[in-house]
Amino acid sequence: MAKATSPRLIAKPPRVAERVVLGIPAPRSSRRPERQPKLPSLDRLIHERLRLGIIAALAVNDRLTFADLKDILEITDGNLSDHARKLENAGYVRVEKTLQGRKPQTAYLLTPRGRQALRGYLESMQAFLQAMNGA
């Protein structure tokens, strides 16, 4: 025959008013999040790794050919074409197509708008890093 056990009393969590009076913190899910500093927005067009590489390479060189950029970034022709076109459509990069003898040559130059976008991106990244470090 099994022993009769007394029913266990299950303690109910204190109500909000009881929490306040007793000084019990609210459950994590109902706490308000701490006020976080507003983080700067990043230029999503430049933030992509390969496009940032193109912009950065052009920022330190007056002009670079397609072959130069391809070698610097170590990417395929298709990737370079695609990302350079997006930067050109945004007005960040200017494309010059010329003939070198009988061979076509494509060169890329950073526009003033592209240089300004890079400067803004770097300032946003710096602000982001300062916010993350609590500065």
Handedness of CA 55, 57, 61, 65 (dihedral sign): negative
Residue 22 lies in a domain: no
Residue 6 lies in a domain: no
In the chain, the percentage of residues whose pLDDT exceeds 70 is 70
Domain that residue 94 falls in: 44-132
Report the domain count for the chain: 1
Residue 126 lies in a domain: yes
Instruction: Find all residues with CB under 8 Å of 131, minimum gap 6, and list them.
Output: 37, 39, 40
Residue 23 lies in a domain: no
E strand or H helix at 65, and its extent?
Answer: strand 64-65
Residue 97's CATH number:
1.10.10.10
Residue 57 lies in a domain: yes
Residue 50 lies in a domain: yes
- Classified as helix, coil or strand, 135 is coil
Mean pLDDT (whole number) for 4-8: 57
Task: Give CA–CA dist 50/76, Å, rounded.
Answer: 11
Residue 121 lies in a domain: yes
Phi, psi of 58 (to 5 degrees): -75, -25
Beta bridge partners of 104: 99
46-78 confidence digits (pLDDT tens) = 989 999 999 999 999 999 999 999 999 999 999
Task: Give the number of other Cβ atoms within 10 Å of residue 47's Cβ.
Answer: 13
Q: Say if residues 102 and 79 touch (Cβ distance below 8 Å).
A: no
pLDDT higher than 90, residue 29: no
Residue 33 lies in a domain: no
103-128 confidence digits (pLDDT tens) = 999 999 999 999 999 999 999 989 88
Distance of CA 108 to the CA centre of its chain: 24
Confidence of residue 130 (pLDDT cuts 50, 70, 90): confident
